Each structure stands twice: as C-alpha cells, then as structure tokens.
Amino acid sequence: EAQVTQNPRYLITVTGKKLTVTCSQNMNHEYMSWYRQDPGLGLRQIYYSMNVEVTDKGDVPEGYKVSRKEKRNFPLILESPSPNQTSLYFCASSLFWGVGSGANVLTFGAGSRLTVL
C-alpha cells in the first residue's frame, strides 16, 4: 500500500530532551515536507526537501532540523524541545512539484501528536 509512515504517533516528552520523529514513504516521491497543525493556525510548513540532500526552510523552521540522506526518509529532529513545540505534526510527500496534472498533490502521514512538558 502506498503510504507515508510517521513514528511515533504520540509522544510526551520534557523540555530539552532531544527527539526525532521519523517519516518514511514507499512511493519513490522526490518531494517531502513537514507541517505542524495548531488550533486556529491551520497547517504551517516547517521544512521541505525537493530531493535527496536538498532541504530548505519553510515558514516556521526555528527549533527544528531535518535531513534527507535517502529518498524515502525525512526525519524531523527537535534538538531541544520546548513547550511551544507541542503540536500535531504531519509529514507529506509528492511525486513531483511543479506544473502539470497531478502536480503538488501531497500524500500525508497520519500525524504525530507531540506534547512537550
């Protein structure tokens, strides 16, 4: 089944304890991205990657790191989590990004709910 898999789905942690949220897709998609969803703010992009070894900041990158060493994986790293990073996180991927039929159609993971105490 074509899908984007995120882990963990739920996590409660404490301020300052490094954590990684993994994301893997099995569709050979070039484009991957991380979003956070907060009440009243919708989906905001954290980081994205156009291809392997190519990453760039989204709208809210502060406090996060990413890497794209291989096509299928795009982990989100919180080096020193803080309570304002408590949120629902979504990883997404797309076959390609640009103009044309099927362009920019993101497939999302099921989400990872993170609570930082």
The binding site for other proteins (CB under 8 A) comprises 4, 33, 35, 40-45, 50, 56, 90, 92, 97-99, 103-111
- C-beta of residue 74 within 8 angstroms of C-beta of residue 98: no
User: 67 exposed, middle or buried (CB, 10 Å; 0-12, 13-18, 19+)?
Assistant: middle
- Spacing of C-alpha 112 from chain mean position: 9
Q: What is the C-alpha separation between 88 and 36, in angstroms, rounded?
A: 6
Minimal distance, residue 80 CB to other proteins, in Å? 27
CA-CA-CA-CA torsion sign (16, 76, 57, 67): positive
Nearer to other proteins, 92 or 116 (CB): 92
Question: Which of 24, 33 has the CB closer to other proteins?
Answer: 33
In the bound complex, what is the minimum distance in angstroms from residue 104's beta carbon to other proteins? 5
- Give the nearest distance from C-beta 7 to other proteins in angstroms: 14
Q: Which is nearer to other proteins, 55 or 85 (CB)?
A: 55
Q: Which is nearer to other proteins, 39 or 69 (CB)?
A: 39
